[in-house]
Amino acid sequence: MKTKIIMIRHGESVTNRTGVFTGESDVALTDIGLEQAELAGVALRDEHIDVIYSSDLSRATDTAAPVARSHGLEIIPDRRLREICAGEWEGMTFGDIAEKYPEDYKIWKTRLGAMVCPGGESIVGMCERVIAAVTEIAERHPGETVCIASHATPIRAICAITSGVPIGELEREPYLPNASISRFEYEDGKFTLVKKGDVSHLAGKITKLPDTI
């Protein structure tokens, strides 16, 4: 049976705004991020949704909250839906990373799929973790509509497997803005992309920051 999957990237976080590599650190949404979350909730308010999952980090659960509230559903946290564990880069500004780790930062900017964060996780490892989690969730809810709040790189991982992009070449997958909505279907072990990175619901509240993990 076909499962519908709606994935929302979290709204703008305080570290998105300040240019800090956040990774698995838990940070709050900005006022704009909270507005983006509400707009995503409005966009999905009249849509049938059976269950809501989220990364257990607050910027994702707070983005899922308006959807959960309008549908009378609880949010199921799953740490496997987290952003990449950035190790030594967690909490550093991107400017400082570029200065202290020039070669690694060049890989991050040009060959993302080959990146291993110093003292942290590889992009390939993160992709495998997220793909396994979303596959398990989809198979747990055959024929249902699942909403998942997560992060930029994890959602790009799901986009990659629908477009035939190897996860080791994740740089080929476009950046996804805060609070964008991507839609997929899952059936017989295969994900299909329906719509990627929709921001039509955000009106003048779109944040497009180049380095915002």
Question: Mind telling me the catalytic residues?
Answer: 10, 151
User: Cα separation of 43 and 76, whole Å?
Assistant: 21
- Residue written as tokens 């060049």? 106
